[in-house]
Structure 1
């Protein structure tokens, strides 16, 4: 959309990545009028990583060259394994373009281990009600478990690299805690609201930094809030990226460009 508001959460400042979480964009929130042009992410290729798209408000229509297609609405998630390569588009539904409305979307890139970078492409679209859910004993914290596990509940997606990822919603004074094993990298991003994380305040669009000491993460909501919480073991592998491709060497990047240009990542059909 023209004027789409975007905040870059990863990389930011001196944080180049939270391995294997290598990129995070936060679009919106904003309200678009009727007869708008929709999201601007037309056909483009990817190879070597996975995308996780959080639809906080509005909708996203995903289409890709491997056959994946769905319209996911508020509270849902799209998980795409680019793997060996595909072409996809992320646009708005005809209904949203006609009627307008509130739109807020985040996209996270999760790097793939070198041995899985050429895995077959795959796509999974989940409406909110289709994902396993978490709820705290007092009902003040709830969430969708996207991958890995939370509170003994398995997530919707089984990953290549023990990636645990959830979207958590807090009522004011809601509390959540989780023990994260040593050597795991923690991703904690405040989508909206104001929380205390291990006693330190964090607000909307803040990425919270952690060490690798094996932290207990304790989150207390100071107001109604929503956060992305995840953790995974770092890959500790070379990262070479160029636009939509994330590989381990420059030769692999050049190969990705050749494969895309020669049609090996699929052919886009309108």
Structure 2
């Protein structure tokens, strides 16, 4: 059974009027290779005639963003020519690669009518060999994501990438990154085998769970040791879990603002390329 090294509590980090908790990085944990960053926006209720999400045009290079829309919506646009509006239960997987500019804002309808909003954004590193690949964007609505229902509905898995209980994930990433969101009803249990050399990313979004004997609350990130292959998860209440695992890249990580590379020189080059217009020109 995989042992637990530490529980890390997400810290309050509001952005304008957006309720935000940052689970990674915090003072207690820098990253869980290759998982770099997690912001948990909401839950909150926006009034009618609101300003929506505050993430206007900004650049990225060298990693991937995976965004989970639990409530509300996101309107995506980028300099690769991709556009979409993804609603509740959907996901966005953007490979920034060599660089692009994107915006993540609320749809005109959400700004007009308001409503509940809860969104997770996870940053996943790219290995050095893939950091300069052509950018890619995948936006999927909830019905497009394979799901597996276990224990007569007490456990429901949305397979984002990798393989979960026999279901292939909706996205085939460049690296072997396996991601799922899992809904538990109280009393639901799940047993998983994840080989000991892989990093586990285990973040409780809502509710309370017990994993390998340890109780975990909402907005807690579990850091595991690399010493076992077995996870036993039990719903102590109705709960939502973001679960991922991957073999660590074990490469240098140099992160500065919106860029994640392997050396300081590459970070400088990213800023120079962005300023030179090599990430594309933003068009409203």
TM-score, scaled relative to structure 2: 0.93
Q: Distance in 1 between matches of 2:74 and 2:157?
A: 20
Alignment of 1:2-151 (within 5 A): 2-151=16-165
Q: How many residues align?
A: 270
Deviating runs (4+, > 2 A) in structure 1?
Answer: none
| Deviation of 1:182 (Å) | 1.8
Q: Which has the higher contact order (CA 8 A, sep 6+)?
A: 2
CA RMSD of superposed structures (Å): 0.9
SS in 2 for 1:253: helix
Cα deviation, 1:33-64, whole Å, max 9, x if unaligned, reads: 00000100000000000000010100011110
Alignment check: 8 A CA contact 2:151 2:188 kept: no
Alignment check: 8 A CA contact 1:147 1:163 kept: yes
Gaps of 5+ in 1: none
Which residue pairs with 1:224 in the alignment? 238
Alignment check: 8 A CA contact 1:84 1:118 kept: yes
| Deviation of 1:12 (Å) | 2.1
Q: Distance in 2 between matches of 1:34 and 1:260?
A: 36
Matched, 1:182 2:232: no
SS in 2 for 1:182: coil
Alignment check: 8 A CA contact 1:2 1:37 kept: no
Gaps of 5+ in 2: 1-14
| Deviation of 1:159 (Å) | 1.4
| Deviation of 1:68 (Å) | 1.2
Q: Distance in 2 between matches of 1:232 and 1:199?
A: 23
SS in 2 for 1:209: strand
TM-score, scaled relative to structure 1: 0.98
Cα deviation, 1:122-178, whole Å, max 9, x if unaligned, reads: 000011110111211432111211111111211011112210000011111111111
